Amino acid sequence: MEVHGWVHDLYMVLFGIWGFVCLYGASTGLREEWKLYRQGPHVEAVVVGGLRTIRFGFREIPIRRRNTEPVVRFVTADGGQVEARVRHPVRRDEPPGVGEAIEVFYDPHKPQEVLAVSGFHTVVRTHIAMIGVGALFLCVAAGALLFGLPVETHVGVWGLLGPSIAGAVALARWAWRKRESQDDVATGGLSPGQGDDLHGRRDTSVP
């Protein structure tokens, strides 16, 4: 259904807001992670566990992709020992096994923020793609509202539900990660059971 008048303008405003959010969020994330990649300590971390699942709400869904987020243990520059889940996906043909070493970098002010070197470039490409999408949305909205650029607006059920569902899922994932991060900081590391390895065991031989 094509819309006109104030409904069209409202849709363009929402279109522009969505573009600005994508542009700002992706550019901020890219700047922060690039700075951390260049200036943060790089260390060899030992894999001590990690389930091949992704968390969606209160359920854990098995995944069969090459992206995994293992739990690793390493020693910081000041001699402290950290055990945390890698935030960047580790791209491998096979998930890294317990006892394997992978290169990671971390925030010296928040050592629980661990990122994988091998997944950094994938994350950068994702940020750049989101910046491009956000800039496109923002330019289209600005052109329609400020310069009268003819933009046909078709509103359907999926046109309204799609962005809402995507936004709700993204918000839920962010809130869940935030909660896990706060729990890790409060307990001084991962909670019991989070370090289980890919086969349900836990490695205790790694120093």
Of 5-14, 67-76, 131-140, 191-200, the range with the highest mean pLDDT is 131-140
- Give pLDDT, residue 128: 92
Q: Is the pLDDT of residue 61 over 80?
A: no
pLDDT band at 151 (very low <50, low <70, confident <90, very high): low
- Give pLDDT, residue 27: 92
Of residues 57 and 122, more confidence is placed in 122
Burial of 181 (0-12, 13-18, 19+ CB in 10 A): middle
- Give pLDDT, residue 204: 42
Burial of 191 (0-12, 13-18, 19+ CB in 10 A): exposed
In percent, how much of the chain has pLDDT > 90? 10
Contact assessment for residue 149 and residue 143, using Cβ atoms and an 8 Å cutoff: yes
- Give pLDDT, residue 135: 92
> In this predicted model, what pLDDT tens digit does every residue of 162-194 receive, in sequence order?
566 666 666 666 666 666 555 554 444 444 444
How much is the average pLDDT of 133-149?
84
4 phi and psi angles, rounded to 5 deg: -140, 175
Q: Is the pLDDT of residue 74 over 90?
A: yes
pLDDT band at 111 (very low <50, low <70, confident <90, very high): confident
Spell out the domain ranges in the chain: 5-187
Contact assessment for residue 76 and residue 41, using Cβ atoms and an 8 Å cutoff: yes
DSSP conformation letters of 1-49: -B--HHHHHHHHHHHHHHHHHHHHHHHHHHHHHHHHHHHS-EEEEEEEE
Bridging pattern class, strands 81-85 and 71-75 = antiparallel
Of 57-66, 127-136, 191-200, the range with the highest mean pLDDT is 127-136
Contact assessment for residue 86 and residue 74, using Cβ atoms and an 8 Å cutoff: no
- Give pLDDT, residue 132: 92
Of 20-24, 57-61, 150-154, which gets the smallest average pLDDT? 57-61
